[in-house]
A and B are shown apart, each in its own frame.
Chain A
């Protein structure tokens, strides 16, 4: 991949403030620039308060930007609403409770997410016809989700819920996938399994993905690009062979220089 091609997602000079107009006004993102290219799998590192979540909320549309612009495929989406952005953007949250509807079944959740970003009409939902398809895609997560299609998601384990959230985000291919520490709330073994399945899906389907993590090993192992956020800016950005050559020691010593 060359740097000359046009980026899929381009953030230019993004400034995002909170508590605007009060004595507590703080700039979280301070002129952030980021070009995301088609097929990038970017791991996002940064200490607490560095602006990782704000970056995701800005891309997702949950937080209005104070200045700067966001472009997707050359189109300006800076002021598009959260709902409208879901047509090309999907997100998996850290909290297993946030990504699924608890009283609806696994199959119903998958069906709802299949229509992500589309108009909801008075057409009958057609759940039965989709069941074989849902069975097939849940089986790829290899954690028994395919046997629980008719279970309300509140009765699933955290790992199964996050796997379901991941499937819901990807079953209708998004242009950009945002993973917000989606394995952080899980036990180490389940977390490693979901991380492995995530990598399989993202690389096989050539998804463009940004993944926030606090796990340095995951950040180094997965993805083709790694960025480090600090004080609302990107302080470190490596890709390809340079990323492959990066070690945990080098990364840790870099963190020492910025703190």
Chain B
């Protein structure tokens, strides 16, 4: 039972990464590798700040800002420097690994033992084991999802969506697509940085290598959500990412129960994601199209 609660908690905490990546991967329509650097960056910044006595909420906010700044650099390389987006992300990710070591004062692992984190409150301590991460994860993901849903319904949000959908058309109606891309990458990486801060506080340490494979985990949440729930509206898809993230943690739990160890997880995550990504092709080849129905006709209300 506690394993299941723990998985739900982890799923909710990690969901913010999926939602953040949704902004770039699904809306702007490219894979942003920066996140592998901004995730440990957020963790490093928050843990270092907390170790130096900063309020953990402020430290988490600082992690958001650090992530957003890294996203800004990727965005500038891509929009102004015309560096291909994959490469721009890899450059910033690589640069981040040095910066993270600097931030953590040269050590590759910094512990939060005995420090006050957002998990140290009396209320969270009074909850049964692992329910603290469920509570924090739930609060954070609800705030992020609601804010994004509202944002995407504003005129600015719509301009952001159309930038990913049709750049030429967006420009032809006066939308500065460069600015939209910069905004998207900053917000996305800011949320990833915040996610890194939360997960580091939950784990009790920050580690420079904690970013490895997180793009795959975040993508898996998105894709699992889409495969399981099928055709949804944009708002529903954002919620589906969180459910996808929880499902991913259950799959992970199952795999560990089968006797694999945590070292195998990156291989297994990549495998799960590869299968999910190939599902459209596989279902065509295996004639499963009637199982995974894709139809937009039902949205014809009138």
Contact = CB atoms under 8 A, between A and B. Distances in A.
A153 to B, nearest CB: 9
A82 B154 contact: no
Nearest to B172: A91
Interface in A34-59: none
Nearest to A108: B158
B302 A149 contact: yes
B4 interface: no
A207 interface: no
Contact of A103 (B151, B165, B300, B301): B165
Interface string A84-116: 101100110100011111111100100111011
A116 B302 CA distance: 27
A168 interface: yes
Interface residues of A, number: 40
A101 B171 CA distance: 12
A122 B169 contact: no
B300 to A, nearest CB: 6
Interface string B168-185: 111111111000000000
Given A112-B162, A120-B156, A122-B154, A151 B300 contact: yes
Interface string A138-178: 00000000011111100100000000000010000000000
Contacts, number: 92
B154 A123 contact: yes
A97 B297 CA distance: 19
B299 interface: yes
A196 interface: no
A124 B159 CA distance: 12
A171 B231 CA distance: 31
B166 interface: yes
Contacts of A112: 158-159, 162, 173
B121 to A, nearest CB: 32
Contacts of A105: 299
A101 B172 contact: no
Contact of A121 (B150, B154, B161, B166): B154
Contacts of B302: 147, 149-150
Nearest to A101: B165
A124 to B, nearest CB: 6
A125 B169 contact: no
Contact of B169 (A99, A117, A123): A99
A215 interface: no
B172 A86 contact: yes
A124 B158 contact: no
B154 A125 contact: yes
A103 B172 CA distance: 17
B156 A101 contact: no
A202 B299 CA distance: 32
Contacts of A118: 174
A83 interface: yes
17 contacts: A83-B176, A86-B173, A93-B172, A97-B166, A101-B165, A102-B166, A104-B162, A108-B158, A112-B158, A115-B174, A118-B174, A121-B154, A122-B151, A125-B158, A150-B299, A151-B296, A152-B299
Given A111-B158, A120-B159, A125-B153, 19 more contacts: A82-B171, A82-B172, A84-B174, A86-B173, A97-B166, A98-B166, A100-B169, A108-B158, A112-B162, A115-B173, A116-B174, A118-B174, A120-B175, A122-B156, A124-B150, A147-B302, A149-B302, A150-B299, A150-B302
Interface of B: 150-151, 153-159, 161-162, 165-166, 168-176, 296-297, 299-302
Interface of A: 60, 82-84, 86-87, 90-91, 93, 97-105, 108, 111-113, 115-118, 120-125, 147-152, 155, 168
